[in-house]
Amino acid sequence: MNEFDFIDRLRQQANSRKHSTRILTGIGDDGAVISESGTRDLIVTTDLLIEGVDFHINAAPARLTGHKALAVSLSDVAAMGARPSWSFLSFAMPRERWDSNFKDEFIAGYLALADQFGVTLSGGDVSESTTGVVIDSIVLGEVESGAAVKRSGARAGDQIYVTGNLGGAAAGLKLIELGARVDERSGIRGQESADDQRGSSPTVREGSESEPPAVAGGPEPVPGAVAIGSSDRSDDDAIQSLLFRQLRPNPRVGWGIVLGEQHLATSMIDISDGLSSDLHHLCRESHVGAIIDAAAIPLDIDVKRLCGRRALDPLALALHGGEDFELLFTVAQEDISRLPKKVDGVQISRVGEITERAESIQVRERDRVWDLQPQGFSHFES
Ligand code: ADP
Ligand code: MG
């Protein structure tokens, strides 16, 4: 039994024990939706990060691990179309780790990201571990009542979009496995992928400059990162950028809020396991199928550059590599004209269309059409 089979069973067990009518969505989405008042719904999401499984302590400075612990949960709140406001953080670590500067650096990275999005650390727990570091991250957010964007709302004919670009985080993981490490002299603050930053203004939606920024803060600008042409970037720059895609994900909080508040998305999920797996999750919940256009998938520019020379397939990394923490969402035809071009400097790409054929997910690549199997990450896979 793998992770998802177990969760399915748990979901049935929980659903047969309804103790509260205020739980609107329980197990099975990126976050739970709980009715808070007549006008607001609360979103709650939780993520567990285990040393040696979800992160490797010697692969990254502790600040980045603190950033990522919060980022993964902010991404789930964004995937519900909600605005994050409060967080809870529990962790356990062995005594030797406790006596090092790990915890202070970890908290510094965590709080820097919390400040960027106006999230208040509101509680947690601390314990001693006999093995490695264990981190439990919880984030709460809010949406207008009924506005949460679920995985289950996609309908045939809806267009499929992703934010940003894909494959970078998986390529970064491969580089870490090959021994590459972030160069701290390059500064660990504000490392946004070069693609995202190129020619973008940091917080204001393009074409609607009179509107307020979607979120407090938004991505930090990278000094000197504007208008870097790919030809000016060395391989070292590309490697560093990919390492940061893996180690310092930028949750698409602004896009989540815009898509939720403006009722633009019919369904949404964040890409944590990989596009192929997460699109399957979304289609399964919505009882629909999908056809993806391979040429439309936005590939990370550094992945294209480095993979091409190393016989790795950028498309495979984009389809099956996880942890990009981009948003995958669907939009009804009549709402497409209302979509902003960019939010917080991040653009979107239309990658395909929802079909009626339940759970049939296909890729159109030149003159071929093939079935896309879910090959993303799953714990306890046999
Ligand atoms: P995500 O990748 O978005 O964090 P997961 O795949 O971890 O989502 O979880 C899918 C769903 O299963 C979520 O609704 C989550 O809350 C639920 N879930 C996962 N593990 C458990 C558990 N141990 N107990 C109850 N619900 C769980
Ligand atoms: Mg998720």
Q: Is the predicted pLDDT of residue 222 greater than 60, yes or no?
A: no
State the pairing for strand pair 32-35/23-25: antiparallel
Average pLDDT rounded to a whole number, residues 107-124 = 98
State residue 361's pLDDT score: 97
Q: Which two tokens stand for residue 333?
A: 């035809």
pLDDT band, very low/low/confident/very high, at 131 (cuts 50, 70, 90): very high
Ligand 1 touching residue 30 (CB < 6 A): yes
Choose the residue to mutate in 27, 29, 282 for probing ligand 1, maximizing ligand atoms within 8 Å of C-beta.
Answer: 27
Write the pLDDT tens digit of every residue in 49-101: 999 999 999 999 999 999 999 999 999 999 999 999 999 999 999 999 999 99
Helix (H, G, I), strand (E, B), or coil: what is residue 218?
coil
User: What is the rounded distance in angstroms from the CA atom of residue 270 to the CA atom of residue 197?
Assistant: 21
Ligand 1 touching residue 10 (CB < 6 A): yes
Write the pLDDT tens digit of every residue in 290-304: 999 999 999 999 999
* Bigger pLDDT: 197 vs 187: 187
Q: Which two tokens stand for residue 34?
A: 């709980």
Q: Ligand 1, residue 29: give the atom nearest the CA.
A: 14
Q: Which ligand is nearest to the CA of 325?
A: 2
- Ligand 2 centre to CA of 273 (Å) is 8
> 160 forms bridges with which residues in the sheet?
330, 352
CB neighbours of residue 120 within 10 Å: 12
Q: Is the predicted pLDDT of residue 175 greater than 50, yes or no?
A: yes
- Ligand 1 centre to CA of 46 (Å) is 8
State residue 379's pLDDT score: 81
Q: Is the predicted pLDDT of residue 176 greater than 70, yes or no?
A: yes
| For the chain, percent of residues with pLDDT exceeding 70 | 87
Rounded mean pLDDT of the chain? 89
Helix residue spans in 248-364 (DSSP H): 253-261, 275-286, 301-309, 314-320
Q: Is the predicted pLDDT of residue 226 greater than 70, yes or no?
A: no
User: What is the rounded distance in angstroms from the CA atom of residue 70 to the CA atom of residue 219?
Assistant: 15
Q: Is the predicted pLDDT of residue 229 greater than 50, yes or no?
A: no
Average pLDDT rounded to a whole number, residues 125-146 = 97
Write the pLDDT tens digit of every residue in 240-295: 999 999 999 999 999 999 999 999 999 999 999 999 999 999 999 999 999 999 99
State residue 308's pLDDT score: 72
CB 125, CB 57: distance < 8 Å: no
Write the pLDDT tens digit of every residue in 363-377: 999 999 999 998 877
Instruction: Report the nearest-CA residue for atom 16 of ligand 1.
Output: 27
Ligand 1 touching residue 29 (CB < 6 A): yes
State residue 359's pLDDT score: 83
State residue 376's pLDDT score: 76
* Bigger pLDDT: 14 vs 232: 14
User: What is the rounded distance in angstroms from the CA atom of residue 267 to the CA atom of residue 174?
Assistant: 31
Instruction: Report the nearest-CA residue for atom 26 of ligand 1.
Output: 27
User: What is the rounded distance in angstroms from the CA atom of residue 79 to the CA atom of residue 271?
Assistant: 9
pLDDT band, very low/low/confident/very high, at 186 (cuts 50, 70, 90): low
State residue 204's pLDDT score: 29
Write the pLDDT tens digit of every residue in 326-364: 999 999 999 999 999 999 999 999 999 999 999 899 999
- Ligand 2 centre to CA of 228 (Å) is 32
pLDDT band, very low/low/confident/very high, at 26 (cuts 50, 70, 90): very high
pTM of the predicted structure, to 2 decimals: 0.90
Average pLDDT rounded to a whole number, residues 219-228 = 36
State residue 310's pLDDT score: 64
Q: Ligand 1, residue 27: give the atom nearest the CA.
A: 14
CB 279, CB 292: distance < 8 Å: yes
Which residues are within 8 A (CB) of 204 and not within 5 positions of it... i.e. 6 or more apart? 211, 213
